[in-house]
Chains A and B, each alone.
Chain A
Amino acid sequence: MPLLSLHGVDVSRRGNPILTGIDLSLAAGEIVTVVGPNGSGKTTLMRVIIGALMPTRGEMTCAPTLSIGYVPQHLHIDPTLPMSVTRFMALPRRYPHDAVRLALEQAGADGLAEQQMASLSGGQFQRVLLARALLGRPQLLILDEANQGLDHRATAAFYRQIERVRRDLGCTVLMVSHELHAVMQASDRVVCLNGHICCQGSPETVADSSAYRDLLGIDEHDAVGFYRHHSLPAEASA
């Protein structure tokens, strides 16, 4: 039985369809990556799954006790809001001291507990967000373009961390990215999204499929070049 599944989900805003006919199910323990160009509805899909958006049509089924750890695409903390890492980790629920330390460790953010959130670097900030999402050992970990603001080296390190987390916690991971190559290696399955699901399968299958190439046709030439040079996907999209 899948952890969570979407059946024929449509989402539209002010009459404009954003997602149509989404059928997607997540099995326990797999890493699934959703790729697609800007405006393809990736974040909308994540927001449906965390319950921030109701589908216009279709339905989502999951266990009522499903616990979700969520790392948002963008978290701006207003400078007027003082927030230490420890305090942030206790929002909205406080966890025992040991659990917090363990989560920080698992996310590679140990030693940051006493810092102010505002003083963290981009990479440290993302790791703290990840650590917070890991508290309470979620069954489903969702990362929405979690590598934003990270350079390629930090991005690669961050995804290695995700794989480690999956191994340690055994949770399902759902990631979103428009930077395909960085994410693909870490995934069991890739879902190619452009308002609807164009194709899905193993990273290799999707990378070879014509739907994927059509969708990212403009980038294809560059992408091939970058693959060949084992170079840096973060720059390809920049």
Chain B
Amino acid sequence: MILDDFLIRAALGGTGVALAAAPLGCFVVWRRMAYFGDATAHAAILGVALSLVLSTSLFAGVLTAALLMALSVSLLSNRGYAMDTLLGVMAHSALAFGLVAVSFVSGVRLDLMGYLVGDILAVSRTDLAIIWGGALLVLALICRRWPALLTATLNPDLAHAAGLDPRREQLVLTLCLAMVVAVAIKVVGVLLIAALLVIPAAAARPFSRTPERMALIAAAIGVFSANGGLAAAYHLDTPTGPTIVCLATLLFLAANLVGLRRKARGQSRASRL
């Protein structure tokens, strides 16, 4: 069967994560939540420890830890703390405590690198089911609430006046973020999840005139990076997760160069008129 091939499974897993991460990543970029995404992702290592202690599934442990982190950060963000300091403390302490906790519980030797940078080639059929289940859930939530999410992102009071509750939209994004972190840990690992969120969205910006277009282009760039990175890693014998992120970054650079050139050309045309 086709899923017997580990490369096919890896490609499918990477594609699923990229599809969910791209539109969510757009909101992360628009709302300036990149560091928030980082903190949530770093908390995932605590989740790994949690799942080892309680011998639950990795997915459940990571989802719980990411959700707790995301909820506590968004709760604190309305209390007037200096946000970047707070996130800096929480992101890195979650990572540090997670690493220490994992070292305590691992009676069996544990490949920590697998959790830090991911191990996409080891994606199993069960993993695939979880990744696609989570990704489709995130996509469905975002599509369904798209206008409300967009209005709340633009301005919370504008959302209020239209009868929407911006706090609910924030909660939806927080849930989606935790879900993406939980399904992406196997693919790119906790250190690089934020990259998968932010980089495709940022690369799509120069080509977008509307938010919808930006989300679609970001998804295309994400999927291309995941599959291209997988192929490149296979041929160059490099670690897969980091290779995916490197390819996405190259696309980001190319997109911005093209965008700059286009803008310059537009300006020179405008000045000639």
Contact = CB atoms under 8 A, between A and B. Distances in A.
B151 A91 contact: yes
Interface string A65-85: 000111010011110111110
B30 interface: yes
Contacts of B7: none
How big is chain A's contact interface, by range?
Answer: 20 to 34
A91 B146 CA distance: 10
Interface in A13-60: 47, 50-52
A82 B208 contact: yes
Contact of B157 (A70, A80, A81, A93): A70
Contacts of A88: 154
Do most interface residues of chain B lie in helix, strand or loop, or is the interface mixed?
helix
Contacts of B30: 78, 80-81
A80 B200 CA distance: 13
A213 interface: no
How big is chain B's contact interface, by range?
Answer: 20 to 34
Contacts of B160: 47, 50-52, 70
A70 B209 contact: no
Contact of A91 (B29, B154, B157, B201): B154
A91 B202 contact: no
Do most interface residues of chain A lie in helix, strand or loop, or is the interface mixed?
loop
Contacts of B31: 78
B158 interface: yes
Contact of A52 (B148, B156, B205): B156
27 contacts: A47-B157, A50-B157, A51-B163, A52-B156, A52-B157, A68-B161, A70-B161, A70-B162, A75-B158, A77-B154, A78-B30, A80-B201, A80-B202, A81-B153, A81-B211, A82-B208, A82-B210, A82-B213, A87-B212, A88-B154, A90-B147, A91-B147, A91-B150, A91-B151, A91-B154, A92-B147, A92-B148
Interface of A: 47, 50-52, 68-70, 72, 75-78, 80-84, 87-88, 90-93, 116, 142
